[in-house]
Amino acid sequence: MTAKIIDGKSLAEGLRGRIAGHAQRLKSDHGITPGLAIVIVGHDPGSQVYVAQKAKQTVEMGMHSEKYELPETASEAEVLVLVQKLNADRAIHGILVQLPVPDHIDSRNIIQTIDPAKDVDCFTPASVGKLAIGLPGPISCTPLGCLMLLRDQLGDLSGLHAVVVGRSNLVGKPITQLLLRENCTVTMAHSRTRDLPFIVRQADIVIAAVGRPEMIKGDWIKLGATVIDVGINRIDAPERGPGKTRLLGDVDFASASQVAGAITPVPGGVGPMTIACLLANTITTASLINGLMPPSDLIA
Ligand code: GUN
């Protein structure tokens, strides 16, 4: 069997089309230009690339974009003051502080200062709680992107067994909540799980979000399963030239694609969906802040 390759780029393009339409309607019908502020502290090259992409796509959607680049030496208090200013800014409907922040800053303090109404990452305790009990609000970007890919691929997910490998706040925990909402049976596995290959072999859906390059092998996958690889592991690739790197997922694509029914590539699978979902969340928060129902076609 050779798996269908799930094309995240093309699904993200469709989603961006809907987002641009909603941004246009918010403007023409309600005089609202959705605004997203992105804060980056320090010079991590990977984060710089992501943040540039996020800001560029915000503008392409006809939305208002602000980017704040603070030096590596910025204090926690400086970041908090900026977040508070953005909380009060009526032109801003979404605030994203790119993680990781430098070690001398406690990211938990930053996150807890973001107004939950503008929390497009769905990181604040209030947003996480809303997600868990199914209240309207932003949904964690990468998990939302995974869910959209799964629904596009499989339709109704009801009754399917999903195994989530990885228990991070960013992906593992929120995707579990979303899959439960979809009536999946969900198993959460992690680095301490015993006989991980046996557990993964039970899955109709595998979500690999463990952060270890090519850890999940083809012989861990049930025939025909759908595999969503969230891993983005940048590794040295001297064969491509001095200083070159390449991206690897958490799944061993070569062997897994012989067994799975469908699989996301890295890059080009989950990644493009994550940024599109951030923009979708900005439409959602701009709507909710203004007392409007968020569009249902941005949720999944
Ligand atoms: N760093 C890596 N992924 C993310 C994300 O989704 N949001 C933020 N704020 N930082 C990140």
pLDDT tens-digit map of 106-153 = 999 999 999 999 999 999 999 999 999 999 889 999 999 999 999 999
Q: Are residues 79 and 173 in the same domain?
A: no
Ligand 1 atom 1, closest CA: 99
pLDDT at 10: 98
**Does residue 19 fall inside a structural domain?**
no
Q: Are residues 104 and 47 in the same domain?
A: yes
Among 232, 214, 221, which Cα is nearest to 270's?
232
Q: Hey, which residues are catalytic here?
A: 54, 98, 121
Ligand 1 atom 2, closest CA: 99
Task: For residue 47, report the distance from its CA to the centre of ligand 1, in Å.
Answer: 8
Looking at ligand 1, which atom is closest to the CA of residue 47? Answer: 1
Q: Are residues 159 and 80 in the same domain?
A: no
From 79, 98, 110, 112, the mutation candidate for ligand 1 (largest count of ligand atoms within 8 A of CB) is 98
pLDDT at 299: 78
Among 208, 123, 197, which Cα is nearest to 172's?
208
Q: Are residues 256 and 223 in the same domain?
A: yes
Q: Where are the alpha helices (DSSP H) in the chain?
A: 8-30, 45-60, 76-88, 107-113, 125-133, 141-154, 172-181, 196-200, 253-256, 270-289
Domain that holds residue 203: 141-271
**Does residue 67 fall inside a structural domain?**
yes
**Does residue 201 fall inside a structural domain?**
yes
Q: Are residues 159 and 110 in the same domain?
A: no
> Which residues, 6+ apart, have CB-to-CB distance to 67 below 8 Å?
37, 38, 40, 51, 55
- Domain boundary (116, 133, 158) is at 116
**Does residue 11 fall inside a structural domain?**
no
Contact 117, 285 (CB under 8 A): yes
Q: Are residues 92 and 148 in the same domain?
A: no
Looking at ligand 1, which atom is closest to the CA of residue 142? Answer: 6
From 101, 110, 121, the mutation candidate for ligand 1 (largest count of ligand atoms within 8 A of CB) is 121
CATH code where residue 39 lies: 3.40.50.10860
**Does residue 284 fall inside a structural domain?**
no
Task: For residue 102, report the distance from its CA to the centre of ligand 1, in Å.
Answer: 14
17-73 pLDDT, tens digit each: 999 999 999 999 999 999 999 999 999 988 999 999 999 999 999 999 999 999 999
Q: Are residues 53 and 145 in the same domain?
A: no
Q: Side chain identity at 266, as an amino acid letter?
A: V
238-273 pLDDT, tens digit each: 999 999 999 999 999 999 999 999 999 999 999 999
Across 270-293, average pLDDT = 97
189-215 pLDDT, tens digit each: 999 999 999 999 999 999 999 999 999
When divided into structural domains, the chain yields a total of 2
Instruction: Read off the pTM.
Output: 0.96
**Does residue 281 fall inside a structural domain?**
no
Q: Are residues 165 and 238 in the same domain?
A: yes
Task: For residue 66, report the distance from its CA to the centre of ligand 1, in Å.
Answer: 17
Q: Are residues 106 and 224 in the same domain?
A: no
Task: For residue 121, report the distance from its CA to the centre of ligand 1, in Å.
Answer: 7
pLDDT at 300: 62
**Does residue 295 fall inside a structural domain?**
no
Among 264, 258, 254, which Cα is nearest to 226's?
264
Which one has a higher pLDDT value, 160 or 191?
A: 160
Write out residues with Cβ below 6 Å of ligand 1. 96-99, 121, 141-142
CATH code where residue 213 lies: 3.40.50.720
Q: Are residues 62 and 167 in the same domain?
A: no
- pLDDT band at 295, cuts 50/70/90? very high
One DSSP character per residue, 50-88 reads HHHHHHHHHHHTT-EEEEEEE-TT--HHHHHHHHHHHHH
Task: For residue 100, report the distance from its CA to the centre of ligand 1, in Å.
Answer: 8
From 40, 47, 50, 144, the mutation candidate for ligand 1 (largest count of ligand atoms within 8 A of CB) is 50
Ligand 1 atom 11, closest CA: 99
